[in-house]
Amino acid sequence: MKVIAVIGTSNSGKTTVCEVIIRGLRERGFSVGSVKEIHSPDFALDPDPAEDTGRHRASGSQLITARAFQETDVLYQDKLSVEKILAHYDQDFVILEGVADYKGPRIITAHSIEEVQERLDEKVIALSGVLANSGQEKLFGLPVFNAMKDPKALVDFVEVHAREHVAK
């Protein structure tokens, strides 16, 4: 399985870039999984202790699975490491949105050069998002992809540069 992260500030185009990558890889016949980091400290799926899964949580269950007609949700009672999360995937590609602690290749989405500079490190392999509307093809020696104008180029890049994940 190959993995790549898309990181950036709020409303900088992370989700749009992920959608383009996922859609493009699926159109090429690959299986694709994704992880969306939620940056709200109060977020919880079904946190109401009066609801069924909330009651399970309040009773002390350490792992809860909610199984419905259209989906199955597995609820852990703590924040898992990226490594543990990826152990659940067997797709050809996994796209990580907002997962800044992933140690592999990443694409930064940003509004400005300053936002790129704040996140720039040796793991960054490309830039995209709102910043790509400037028309620049390279910044800091990195390719800049406009996901809306040239989705094929972005997906081609990801297909080649996403890193093969080796379970530890």
Give the CATH number, domain containing residue 126: 3.40.50.300
Is the residue at 87 inside a domain? Answer: yes
Is the residue at 25 inside a domain? Answer: yes
Q: Give me the domain span that covers residue 145.
A: 2-40+78-164
Number of separate domains in the chain: 1
Is the pLDDT at 42 greater than 80, yes or no? no
Q: What is the pLDDT of residues 69-82, one digit of tens each?
A: 998 888 888 889 99
Q: What is the average pLDDT across 39-62?
A: 75
Is the residue at 57 inside a domain? Answer: no
Rounded to 5 degrees, φ, ψ at 80 are -80, 155
Is the residue at 47 inside a domain? Answer: no
Is the residue at 136 inside a domain? Answer: yes
pTM metric for this prediction? 0.90
